[in-house]
Amino acid sequence: MSCLTQDTHLEKYTYHAKFIELGLITEHNINQIKLINQTIFPIKYGESFYKKCTISSDLCKCAFYKGLIVGNVCCKIISVGGISCLYIMTLGCLPSYRCVGIGSKMLEYVHQLAKDKNIRLIQLHVHTVNNDAVQFYKKRNYTISATVENYYCLLEPKSAFILEKMLD
């Protein structure tokens, strides 16, 4: 799903921003997160992933729109070439809530989290055929640093882009 023209999108984004909040992922809402992830991502995440979501209060957040959980972001800190990196494991929202600023709000949170932790590199993998996601990140100054063949075992094609951004 592509968003509307820039001007219309900006107006729409400004209107919807007041309805978007980020909150904790808890044992009480983790089943909603599981359902959302099953809907929006082509791979299945295991129970250990969801357990980490409930205990990583600053690294994982759910996105609310008018009080409803409609998306989530979950990160982890890894080392890339000897430097700390905030790796985005998931960032997405339900299709009917896209293009109103929810993804942008979650990504802004990731950027602020990285700055708060003195991490300058943010990285993620994106399926090479997920053009909407690639454009979302490119629009926010992420670059494709590599293509990894055979990254996804159960998807076709199996390749993924590594997208990354260095913060100032």
Catalytic residues: 87, 125
| Amino acid symbol at 1 | M
Nearest by Cα to 41 from 104, 163, 130: 130
SS3 64: strand
In whole angstroms, give the CA distance from residue 3 to residue 59.
27
Where on the phi/psi map is residue 124: left (φ > 0), alpha (ψ -120 to 50), or beta?
Answer: beta
Q: Please count the other Cβ atoms lying within 10 Å of the Cβ belonging to residue 27.
A: 10
Task: Confirm if 20 and 105 have CB atoms less than 8 A apart.
Answer: yes
In whole angstroms, give the CA distance from residue 160 to residue 132.
14
